[in-house]
C-alpha cells in the first residue's frame, strides 16, 4: 500500500511525499509539509500561528492535538478587539509545539523514526534560497496592499516598492530561515524558552505588543479525544471545543435524519437541505468556548437537538437569515501512509497575514487569533489569560469499519463546515469521486470579507434550474465566480486496497 499527501502547495506536497517514500508516517509527513507551508504560504499560516490535528493510527486509535496558543497574561481589554496590529496580539502561538507533539506521538504509536531536523530541512532551505510567489499570495498581497504598508516589519519582506510582491517573484526570507535553523537545532523549546524566544518577545514588544516570556513558556499542545458521529456506514471524527468541529458534526447529524437516496447531487433539494442544516447548527455555535473555562456541549447533548433541528427544516421554504460571520484563512493538509495511519491538519494565523506584525528580526508574522475572543465578559468566549479562543479550524477523518477511509478538510472559517457538508454528502451519499466532489459547485451562506450581504452565495456554474428552484424556496441568492477561492480550498486523501490517493481543490 502506498501513501498519499494533499496540501495546497506542490512544494509542501513534495516534502510530505518524500517522508512517506522513505517509510515515514503520516504525522511525520505532515510536519515536513506543514513546515514548508509556513514558508511558502505566509498569507495563510506561519510559525506565529496555530494548528489543529486529528490522527488515527493503523489500529484505529483516535486522537486530537490542539496546538492552540492561549490568552496572554494581560488586563482584560475594555474596547472591542482590533483585527490587525499589536492590539490583535492577545494569544501565543502553538504550531511549533504541535509539530513536536505529533513527532513524539508518531514514535510511540506508529513506529516513527524520522529526525526533527530532517523534517524541517525542506522548509529551512526554501526560506533561505527562495521560491516563486504564488498567485494566491499575490492575490492576498494585493487585497491588503492599501493597509499593509503600515504593518510593523511587513513591507521589508512582503512588499516591493509601493505594492505587493508579484506572481513569480523569488521570495527569500533569511530571517525566517535563521528562526527555523534554531528550531531545527534545539527543538520546539527554542521557540518558547530559548534565544529565539527572547528575540520573538523583544520584536513583538518593540512593535508595542503586550507579551511576556512566561506567556510563551506556558504554551503547550493539548491532546484530547476527538468527537465522533455515525453517518451512514461511516464514523465522522472532528476536534472538540473550542473548535467548531462540533458544528460540522451537528450539520451532518441533521442531514443523517434525511433519506438522500432519491435526491440528485447538486440539485436544489440537496443544496437546500445542506443550507438549512448549516443554519440550525450555526445558531448553536455561539456557545462554543474553551471547556476549561466554560461548560461545553458534548455529542450527547447535540444528539438531543438533531431530531428537533431536522423536523424544523421546511423542504419548500428557507429559514430567514442573518447570523454573525466569522473570518479566517487557513491551510489544510492531510496524509495516509503505507501502514494505514492517517493525519488531518489545519494550520492558521487566523486572518490572511494574521496580525500583520512581524516579530522583529525573526521573520515571523504573529497571528491575530485573539480577535476571535469576545470582550463581553458574560460571553462564553470572553477573553481571559490562559484561555483558548473559539477556533474555526476543524479537520476531519471518516472511518469505515474502524479504519481511516477519507481524510478531509478545507480553508475558509465560516465556510469550513459548509464546504464539508457538500463534500461529505457528495462522497458518502452520492458516491462521487473525490475529484468530482471537489470541483462541483458550492454555496457560502452569509457575509464574506468582500461581500457584506447576508445572502446565499452560489458559484456561477450551478445549473439555472437549481438556481431558480432555490430562489423559489425563499433563498436570497448572489452569484460568485465558478471555482471561487472564497468557496473553500479543500483537500481529500482516500485509503484504498492497493494504495492511497490524494487530491486538492481546483480553487486557488
Residue 258's CB: how many other CB atoms inside 10 A? Answer: 16
Name, in order, each residue with C-beta under 8 angstroms of 216's C-beta and a sequence gap of 6 or more.
Answer: 92, 191, 192, 193, 197, 200, 201
Block residue for cell numbers 494581560: 74
In terms of phi and psi (left: phi > 0; alpha: psi -120 to 50; beta: otherwise), the region of 476 is: beta
Q: Report the alpha-carbon distance of residue 415 to residue 488 in Å, rounded.
A: 7
What b/e readout covers 461-495, taking b as 16+ CB neighbours within 10 angstroms?
ebeeebbebbeebebeeeebebbbbbbbbbbbbbb
Phi then psi dihedrals of residue 497, to 5 deg:
-65, -25
Q: Report the alpha-carbon distance of residue 387 to residue 241 in Å, rounded.
A: 12
Angle between helices 116-129 and 26-40 (to 10 degrees): 20
CA-based nearest residue to 222, from 70, 106, 61, 408: 70
How big is the chain, counted in residues? 508
Name, in order, each residue with C-beta under 8 angstroms of 156's C-beta and a sequence gap of 6 or more.
Answer: 358
Q: Report the alpha-carbon distance of residue 112 to residue 26 in Å, rounded.
A: 9
Q: Report the alpha-carbon distance of residue 90 to residue 73 in Å, rounded.
A: 9
Residue 128's CB: how many other CB atoms inside 10 A? Answer: 16
Q: Report the alpha-carbon distance of residue 49 to residue 393 in Å, rounded.
A: 12
In terms of phi and psi (left: phi > 0; alpha: psi -120 to 50; beta: otherwise), the region of 470 is: alpha
Q: Whole-angstrom distance between the N-terminal and C-terminal Cα of the chain?
A: 30
In terms of phi and psi (left: phi > 0; alpha: psi -120 to 50; beta: otherwise), the region of 232 is: left
Cell (9 digits) for 486: 472564497
Q: Report the alpha-carbon distance of residue 242 to residue 296 in Å, rounded.
A: 9
CA angle 4, 110, 332 (to 5 degrees): 40
Residue 169's CB: how many other CB atoms inside 10 A? Answer: 15
Block residue for cell numbers 496558543: 69
Q: Give 452: exposed, middle or buried? Use CB within 10 Å, 0-12, 13-18, 19+.
A: exposed
* 38, 330, 362, 466: the active-site residue: 330
Told to judge if 219 belongs to the known catalytic residues of this protein, a careful annotator would answer: no
Helix (H/G/I), strand (E/B), else coil: 214: helix
Q: Which residues are catalytic?
A: 330
Amino acid at each position: 500500500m502506498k501513501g498519499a499527501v494533499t496540501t495546497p502547495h506542490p512544494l509542501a506536497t513534495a516534502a510530505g511525499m518524500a517522508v512517506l517514500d522513505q517509510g515515514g508516517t503520516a504525522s511525520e509527513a505532515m510536519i515536513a509539509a506543514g513546515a514548508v507551508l509556513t514558508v511558502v504560504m505566509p498569507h495563510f499560516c506561519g510559525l506565529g500561528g496555530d494548528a489543529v490535528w486529528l490522527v488515527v493510527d493503523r489500529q484505529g486509535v483516535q486522537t486530537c492535538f490542539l496546538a492552540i496558543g492561549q490568552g496572554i497574561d494581560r488586563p482584560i481589554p475594555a474596547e472591542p478587539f482590533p483585527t490587525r496590529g499589536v492590539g490583535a496580539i492577545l494569544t501565543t502561538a502553538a504550531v511549533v509545539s504541535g509539530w513536536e507533539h505529533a513527532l513524539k506521538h508518531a514514535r510511540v504509536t506508529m513506529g516513527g523514526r524520522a529526525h526533527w531536523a530532517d523534517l524541517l530541512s525542506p522548509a529551512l532551505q526554501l526560506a533561505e534560497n527562495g521560491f516563486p510567489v504564488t498567485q494566491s499570495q499575490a492575490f492576498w498581497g494585493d487585497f491588503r496592499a492599501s493597509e499593509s504598508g503600515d504593518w510593523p516589519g511587513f513591507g521589508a519582506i512582503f512588499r516591493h516598492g509601493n505594492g505587493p510582491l508579484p506572481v513569480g517573484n523569488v521570495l527569500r526570507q533569511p530571517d525566517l530561515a535563521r528562526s527555523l535553523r534554531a528550531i531545527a537545532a534545539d527543538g520546539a523549546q527554542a521557540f518558547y524558552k530559548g534565544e529565539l524566544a527572547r528575540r520573538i518577545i523583544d520584536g513583538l514588544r518593540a512593535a508595542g505588543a503586550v507579551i511576556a516570556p512566561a506567556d510563551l513558556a506556558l504554551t503547550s499542545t493539548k491532546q484530547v479525544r476527538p468527537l465522533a458521529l455515525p453517518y451512514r456506514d461511516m464514523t465522522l471524527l472532528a476536534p472538540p471545543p473550542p473548535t467548531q468541529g462540533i458544528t460540522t458534526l451537528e450539520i451532518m447529524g441533521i442531514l443523517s435524519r434525511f433519506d438522500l437516496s432519491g435526491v440528485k447531487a447538486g440539485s436544489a433539494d440537496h443544496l437546500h437541505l445542506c443550507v438549512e442544516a448549516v443554519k440550525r447548527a450555526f445558531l448553536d455555535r455561539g456557545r462554543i468556548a474553551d471547556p476549561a473555562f466554560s461548560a461545553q456541549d458534548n455529542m450527547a447533548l447535540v444528539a438531543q437537538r438533531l431530531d428537533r433541528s431536522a423536523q424544523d427544516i421546511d423542504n419548500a421554504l428557507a429559514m430567514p437569515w442573518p447570523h454573525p460571520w466569522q473570518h479566517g484563512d487557513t491551510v489544510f493538509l492531510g496524509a495516509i501512509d503505507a501502514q494505514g495511519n492517517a493525519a488531518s491538519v489545519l494550520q492558521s494565523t487566523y486572518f490572511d497575514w494574521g496580525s500583520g506584525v512581524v516579530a522583529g528580526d525573526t521573520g515571523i508574522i504573529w497571528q491575530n487569533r485573539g480577535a476571535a475572543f469576545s470582550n463581553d465578559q458574560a460571553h462564553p468566549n470572553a477573553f481571559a489569560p490562559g484561555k483558548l479562543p473559539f477556533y474555526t479550524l476543524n479537520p476531519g477523518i471518516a472511518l469505515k469499519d474502524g479504519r481511516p477511509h477519507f481524510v478531509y478538510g478545507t480553508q475558509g472559517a465560516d465556510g469550513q463546515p459548509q464546504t464539508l457538508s457538500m463534500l461529505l454528502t457528495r462522497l458518502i451519499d452520492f458516491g462521487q469521486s473525490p475529484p468530482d466532489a471537489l470541483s462541483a459547485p458550492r454555496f457560502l451562506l452569509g457575509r464574506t470579507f468582500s461581500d457584506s450581504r447576508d445572502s446565499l452565495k452560489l458559484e456561477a456554474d450551478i445549473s439555472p434550474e437549481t438556481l431558480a428552484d432555490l430562489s423559489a424556496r425563499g433563498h436570497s441568492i448572489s452569484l460568485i465566480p465558478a471555482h471561487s477561492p472564497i468557496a473553500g480550498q479543500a483537500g481529500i486523501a482516500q485509503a484504498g486496497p492497493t494504495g492511497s490517493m490524494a487530491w486538492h481543490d481546483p480553487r486557488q
